[in-house]
Every structure is written in C-alpha cells, then in structure tokens.
Amino acid sequence: MTEVLRYAAFTTDPAGGNPAGVVLDADALDEAAMQRIAAEVGYSETAFLTPVEGERRYRVRYFSPLAEVAFCGHATIASAVALAERDGVGDLVFETAAGTVPVATGGTGTVEASLVSVPTRSRPATGDEVSRALAALGWAAADLHPDWPAHVAFGGVEHLVLAVRTRERLADLDYDFAALGELMAERGWTTLQLLWPQDGRTVHARDPFPPGGVVEDPATGAAAAALGGYLRAVGRVAEPLRVTVHQGEDMGRPSLLRVDVRPDDPRVTVTGAATAIPA
C-alpha cells in the first residue's frame, strides 16, 4: 500500500500553512495512480518522488486533485523536509517538469528548506488580461496599486501578479470561480498572485487556484519565486533583497515565505518550514 505523508508547508503549525501530500517512493505508481491518489488526498498538490541516479537526487511529479502541474513550491518544501526528517538534513536535487530545482535543508528541531527556482521571467500583462481578471474578481481598476504594475510572472509556472492599494481590498475576496478559471486555463496561469505591499520588503498575498479545483492556496512557493522575478523585472532589486510574504491569513491558515532575489541572477530562493500533520 502506498504511504502518503501529509505536511503543512511554510509554517511550524500543522493547522497553518498549505497542506501537501508527499509520497517518498513512487517507483511503482503510474500517472493514473498518482492522479487518483492526489484526488483522494484532496490537497491542492501531492508530490510523488522517485530516486534517480545521483546522490540525494529525485524525480518529482506534482498533481492537484484535477491535473498534473509542472511545479509546486509548497509541495517541494514539504517533500524536502520529509526527506530531511527521514534521512538527515543536507542538499537535495529535484528533477521536475519545469527544470532542475536544488533544495537545501537544515535546522535542528524545526527543519527549514530553501528551494532555488528555475530562471524566472516576467512581462507586463495586457490590458485585456487585466480587465478580464478584474471582472472575474469583482475589482475595479482603481483598486490596483499605481506603483506596482500588473505582470505575468514565471517561476516554474505562470502567475498573474496584481497588487492592490489597501489591505482591505485584498481581504475582501469573493470571485467568480468559473470565469476566473476559464481565463486562467486559456492563458495557462497556475494561480493569481494578488498582493498588498505593506512596504518594500513585506507583502501580503492571496492566490486563487481554480485550475487545481481549489478556491485559494494558503501558501504558494511557485508564486513566491515568480514574485522574485517580477520584482527584478520592475526594477525593485538594485541589491540583494529579501522579501517576506504573508499568505493564508484571511483563510485562517497563516503562512510565512521568505524570498531572496539578486539583481544579477534570474533564479530566486524561497525558504520556509514544514511540519507533519498528525493522522
């Protein structure tokens, strides 16, 4: 019988963060079995790991309850912490559909993992993309922050990045699931990265996830990596920068993600803790 571990990522509290399923030995599972298990687990993603040639190197596939996704940050953090708790802390390499992702684990007591994303990129969103997203969200153009332009950012998968003027606007999220899901499927976006910038180093985020059959993700490592690429693209990384992302607060599952960006490197480091969810 396949053992499925359950971890909450980007938190030290099993009741917080983003839950992920983790299968540490998926050798015997085909794609249909992985999809079935992910649907049964019901989390936004479940990661399936298969050892490959090389020390502490794994092929990783990620499945939402509805479909396979190329990369998932919170399930990567959860998988790395699960491996560290089983085998000891150290460096890992994950081979994903989005590319090779090095992961470092460390710490005593609370284990943290830091993933290094594939090279990020970001482009301005089109007027049509923004207007359709706003219509689905029930937001107005005046709600958007004038100093944070709308972009489509990539950190393994694509995300539409929209920043708002006020924390209250971010908290009041009640969107048209079908309409937003249709737009995201058409454009190939995995989540929306909705932000309120508290200051230049602290942001609050919410991430609708209709393509995965999930209303909202409480922590999104892939979007955090894409955020780093966005910050570089819009000229906010003149020197090495660490940004703290608070996510999941409005869902009652607070999460904390640390994002490290350099002006001379398109890759982004995303760090967080993870903890096992009791059976």
206 dihedral zone (left: phi>0; alpha: psi -120 to 50; beta): beta
Query: How far, in Å, CA of 159 to CA of 40, rounded?
Result: 26
Query: How far, in Å, CA of 29 to CA of 32, rounded?
Result: 8
Cα-based angle 56, 9, 35 (whole degrees, multiple of 5): 75
Catalytically annotated residue among 45, 129, 158, 216? 45
| Cα 92 from chain centre | 19
Name residue 245's beta-bridge partners: 203, 257
Name residue 194's beta-bridge partners: 162, 206
Active site residue 45: yes
Query: How far, in Å, CA of 31 to CA of 43, rounded?
Result: 17
| Cα 142 from chain centre | 27
Token pair 């609370």: residue: 110
List, by residue number, the catalytic residues.
Answer: 45
